[in-house]
Amino acid sequence: MPIIVFGSLNMDLVAQVPRLPQSGETLLGTGFTTVPGGKGANQAVAAARLGAPTTMVGRVGDDSFGQELCNSLQASNVATELVLAEPGPSGVALISVDESGENQIVVVPGANGNVDLSDANRLPLGPGPSVLLMQFEIPLVAVQAAAKRAAEHCVILDPAPARSDLPTDFYSLVDILTPNQTEASQLVGMKVKSVATAMEAAQVLRRRGVSTVIVKLGSQGAVVASDLEVFHVPAFEVKAVDTVAAGDAFNGGLAVALAEGKSLRAAVVWASAVAALAVTKAGAQSSMPIRAQVEDFLLSHPSGSL
- Is 248 annotated as ligand-binding? yes
Q: Residue 137 has what DSSP assignment?
A: S
Distance CA 268, CA 215 (A): 11
Which value, in Å, is the radius of gyration of the alpha carbons in the chain? Answer: 18
- Cis preceding linkage at 161, omega within 30: yes
Instruction: Give the orientation angle of helix 246-259 with respect to helix 264-278, to 10 degrees.
Output: 140
Check residue 115 and give its pLDDT.
Answer: 98
d(CA 3, CA 54): 5
Contact indicator for 136, 156 with CB cutoff of 8 Å: no
Q: State CA 89 to chain mean position distance.
A: 23
pLDDT at 18 (0 to 100) = 95
- The response to whether 287 counts as a known ligand-binding position is yes
How confident is the model at residue 100, as a pLDDT? 85
Separation between Cα atoms, residue 107 and residue 110, nearest integer Å: 9
Whether residue 121 is annotated as binding a ligand: the answer is: no
Catalytic residue among 63, 158, 248, 296: 248
Sort 234 into a burial class: Cβ within 10 Å, 0-12 / 13-18 / 19+.
middle
Distance CA 277, CA 273 (A): 6
The residue type at 60: V
Contact between 82 and 56 under an 8 Å Cβ cutoff? The reply is: yes
User: Residue 172, annotated ligand binder?
Assistant: no
C-alpha 82 chain-centroid distance: 19
For the stretch 147-162, pLDDT in tens is: 999 999 999 999 999 9
This model's pTM is above 0.85: yes
Q: Which class does domain 3-20+29-301 fall in?
A: alpha beta
Pairing of strands 91-97, 78-86: unpaired
Say how far apart CA 198 and CA 232 lie, in whole Å: 10
By the 8 A CB rule, do 241 and 101 touch?
Answer: yes
Query: Is 186 assigned to a binding site?
Result: no
Q: Which residues contact 61 (CB under 8 A, 6 or more apart)?
A: 85, 86, 87, 88, 89, 90, 91, 110, 111
Structure confidence at residue 303 (pLDDT): 62
pLDDT digit string (tens) for 41-60?
999 999 999 999 999 999 99
What is the per-residue pLDDT for 292?
97
* In contact, 211 and 226? CB cutoff 8 Å: yes
- Taking 50 as the pLDDT cut, the residues of the chain under it are 304-306
Q: Is 283 annotated as belonging to a binding site?
A: yes
116 is catalytic: no
Q: Cα 18 to chain center, whole Å?
A: 26
58 is in an annotated binding site: no
Sorted by where each begins, the domain ranges of the chain are 3-20+29-301
Output the CA–CA distances (angstroms, integers) from residue 249 to 37, 103, 206, 302, in the order listed.
12, 16, 24, 19
Q: Is 218 annotated as a binding residue?
A: yes
Beta carbons within 10 angstroms of residue 229's beta carbon:
10
Q: Any known ligand binding at 180?
A: yes
